[in-house]
Amino acid sequence: MGASKLQIHSKRLNDIALVAKVFAHPARVAILEYISKQKDCICSDIVDEIGLSQPTISQHLQVINKAGLLKGNFKGKSICYCINIKKFQEFQELFNSFFNKTKFNCC
């Protein structure tokens, strides 16, 4: 097969997995960290910073964006990617609630 059997799981479990997928590639973690560190949201140099080609970075940005983690703004000539802190916080809470729930019982 190759495709995940999403139907058999609850929306909650699928959601957790979807969010985790965003962080499941080091380039995406690096991109998020880099964006957050840029005080003035300079953007196009993510490519130089990370060391992957422009199309590849663009692809990773799309994945991050589809999860709702980006806010694009215009600042002069170039697009400014920013982190959607509200969503980011939501994701942190989703993980923490899963971690906390799971941390009990067993052995």
Partner DNA sequence: ATATATAATCGTAATATTGCAATATCAAAT
Partner DNA sequence: ATTTGATATTGCAATATTACGATTATATAT
Site residues for a copy of itself per CB under 8 A: 4-6, 8-9, 13-14, 16-17, 20-30, 32-33, 35-39, 41, 50-52, 71, 73, 80, 82-83, 85, 88-89, 91-92, 95-96, 98-99, 101-107
Which among a copy of itself, DNA, none contacts residue 73 (Cβ within 5 to 8 A by kind)?
a copy of itself
Which among DNA, a copy of itself, none contacts residue 36 (Cβ within 5 to 8 A by kind)?
a copy of itself
Give the chain as a DSSP string: --S--GGGS-HHHHHHHHHHHHTSSHHHHHHHHHHHH-TT---TTHHHHHTS-HHHHHHHHHHHHHTT-EEEEEETTEEEEEE-HHHHHHHHHHHHHHHHHHTS---
Q: Rule CB under 7 A: is residue 74 a binding residue for DNA? A: yes
Q: Taking CB under 7 A as the rule, which mask of x and - marks residues 34-73 in contact with DNA?
A: ---------xx--x----xxxxx-xxxxxx--------x-
